[in-house]
Amino acid sequence: MSFVALASIVAIAACGSSSTSSSSTTSSSAGAKQGGTITIASGTAPLSADQGLDFTTQGNELYSVVNMPLLTFVRGVEGTGGSKIIPALATSLPTVSNGGKTYTFHLRSGLHYSNGQPIKASDVLVALERDLKIPWQSASFISAYIPGAMAYANGKAKTISGVTTNDATGTITVNLVHPFAPIVDIFALPGTAPVPPSTPAKNLASTGTIGDGPYMWSSITAEHQYTLVKNPKFDVPGLPRGYADKIVYNVNSNVLANAQAVLNNSADVFDPGDTIPASVLQQIKSQASARYQAQPLNSSWYFWFATYKKPFSNLYARQAVLAALDDRALSRVDSGFQTPDCHLIPFGIIGHSNPSNCPFHNPNGPANLTLAKQLMAKSGMAGTAVTVYGEERSPRKQYLDYFTSVLNSLGFKATEKVVNSSVYFTTIGAPSLKPDVGFGDWNQDFPNPWDFMELFAGDAGSSLNYGYVNDPYYNAQLVKLYQQTPASVASQWAALDQYAVNKGYYAAFGHEAKPKFYSNRLSYKTGTLSVEYLTDVTSLALKK
């Protein structure tokens, strides 16, 4: 595969040719003011300010402007156009050789971290090694595809043999076990951004790492407040430097209070990772319609099952649950922000299937309780005790109540475990827990169906594949498909999604629109709700 071909593929994928969700719009800087302080009100804290550990949308909003990787997703563009990958610290997109198994990057010269230290090519390797040591929540993105990465992670090697760097020439060469198209996307994630060699290989939750992006950490009170200020050393041509001098990210689990604060202009941005409660939504629509919009982004919400143990090792038991779900009910619980669907690949990603293909019930109709009861009777699992895991944050807790109610109506003996949202995914992903069933959601990291389907891969690790699904056919298809460009195998991705739905590996129930809701202090047109970053911090600007 040539570089040109790959670049085209990335561009095609980024543009989302099959998207039905949204068109791309570029924000306008007219009326935007330089400087000032902008506050974001979020219901959930990032797991960590350290991009070497965290993989949450809340964290990504912040450290994506602190830790700039070799490549980046274009900023200031809404809709699927925001998935376009452009060079950041690299001089250009990587050259691809060796049959798609070698990617070569060239670092721009004269770059510096926010502390003035020069950035070297070998710092990228330092970051990758650090990701494996901490480990990064998506460490499998590296360990499964780069030779020697797993050995390094296990302490059996002193470095990642598949990555070589040359500080003199600024060259970074990444070799792969086999062709892996999403590697370009992965090198656009902040987790792969270079860090100074002196950065400790441990989670720096309350300080973050020294960065190289347009902003840098000013102060962090973990789980409460995260403050960014402009990085005066940032100087990468073509990348936005941001408008505001200071960004304050306040965490308050009361999302109603957050929404009201933005409505009353005492906070500036309602974090789009949260759902605006229905109680205040009507008020916002009527009183602040000029500064509120719900935009479809690429996300999927689902329940996962532990497929290796009873009762959900039983195919009929899983299928019964799928048949008994009423996606419309779940959408109402989410203030109507959900578009019901049983598939994991969302509308804006290549490989999306039509919701009418959902086998167990029509997502836009009622649950098929007759079928559900038949399947349940076949399963023989009635009376089995299960613990259902979910988050405390609205509407996730309400999902949990609903799902538990459905399981009990089917004859399971379901009880709930509500986990604090900031530690929910680390809790259910802990290898020692091995939970029965629970809630999950996934927002697009990059415009590739693999990003979603990988969640149920046998090698995804417990931090993503909470139900430990391990289907040889599914795994083999993933390996086969991720070596191809998504557009060339779109129907096969759709078929794999359909296969997993039929197998009941997940009970996906919809794709969520996200709120773009600002105070009237901000320039609404300038601000960008990014498909990659949610709130694009560099686009936030006070009105002139």
* By CB under 8 A, residue 511 contacts other proteins: no
Choice between 141 and 439, CB closer to other proteins = 439
**Segment near other proteins (CB under 8 A), from 27-35, 402-410, 450-458, 513-521?**
402-410
SS3 label, residue 209? coil
Choice between 133 and 417, CB closer to other proteins = 417
Instruction: Find the binder of other proteins among 162, 211, 395, 486 (CB under 8 A).
Output: 395
Choice between 205 and 333, CB closer to other proteins = 333
**Segment near other proteins (CB under 8 A), from 81-89, 253-261, 350-358, 484-492?**
253-261
Question: How many residues form the binding site for other proteins (CB under 8 A)?
Answer: 36
Cis, peptide link before residue 135, omega less than 30° from 0: yes
- Cβ(404)–Cβ(415) below 8 Å: yes
Cα 485 to Cα 188, 349, 463: the distances in Å are: 17, 13, 26
CA-wise closest residue to 33 among 522, 401, 395: 522
- Cβ(431)–Cβ(423) below 8 Å: no
**Segment near other proteins (CB under 8 A), from 65-73, 103-111, 264-272, 333-341?**
333-341
- Cβ(418)–Cβ(392) below 8 Å: yes
* By CB under 8 A, residue 498 contacts other proteins: no
- Token pair belonging to 494: 């759709």
* By CB under 8 A, residue 413 contacts other proteins: no
Backbone angles phi, psi at 298, to 5 degrees: -90, 95
Cis, peptide link before residue 346, omega less than 30° from 0: no
Instruction: Find the binder of other proteins among 234, 402, 474, 517 (CB under 8 A).
Output: 402
Instruction: Find the binder of other proteins among 278, 430, 479, 487 (CB under 8 A).
Output: 278
Instruction: Find the binder of other proteins among 91, 266, 283, 491 (CB under 8 A).
Output: 283
**Segment near other proteins (CB under 8 A), from 102-110, 207-215, 278-286, 520-528?**
278-286
* By CB under 8 A, residue 336 contacts other proteins: yes
Instruction: Find the binder of other proteins among 33, 233, 310, 332 (CB under 8 A).
Output: 332
Cα 221 to Cα 115, 206, 210, 259, 331: the distances in Å are: 21, 6, 17, 22, 34
- Cβ(199)–Cβ(209) below 8 Å: yes
Instruction: Find the binder of other proteins among 167, 235, 245, 392 (CB under 8 A).
Output: 392
Sheet with 102-106: strands ordered across: 95-97, 102-106, 171-175, 163-166
* By CB under 8 A, residue 424 contacts other proteins: no
In the complex, least distance from residue 280 CB atom to other proteins, rounded to whole angstroms: 6
Determine the length of the chain.
544
Within 353-372, which residues bind other proteins (CB under 8 A)?
A: 366
* By CB under 8 A, residue 19 contacts other proteins: no
* By CB under 8 A, residue 342 contacts other proteins: no
* By CB under 8 A, residue 263 contacts other proteins: no
* By CB under 8 A, residue 150 contacts other proteins: no
Choice between 139 and 333, CB closer to other proteins = 333
Choice between 115 and 283, CB closer to other proteins = 283
* By CB under 8 A, residue 331 contacts other proteins: yes
| DSSP code per residue over 440-504 | EEEE-SSS-THHHHGGG-TTS-TTT-TT----HHHHHHHHHHHTS-GGGGHHHHHHHHHHHHHHT
- Cβ(319)–Cβ(367) below 8 Å: no
Instruction: Find the binder of other proteins among 291, 328, 352, 361 (CB under 8 A).
Output: 328
Choice between 137 and 253, CB closer to other proteins = 253
Q: Distance between CA atoms of 457 and 477, rounded to whole angstroms?
A: 10
* By CB under 8 A, residue 488 contacts other proteins: no
* By CB under 8 A, residue 266 contacts other proteins: no
- Cβ(411)–Cβ(375) below 8 Å: no
DSSP 90: B
CA-wise closest residue to 302 among 383, 185, 225, 389: 389
Q: Binding residues for other proteins, per CB under 8 A?
A: 254-256, 277-283, 326, 328-329, 331-336, 366, 392, 394-395, 397-398, 400-402, 404-405, 408, 415-419
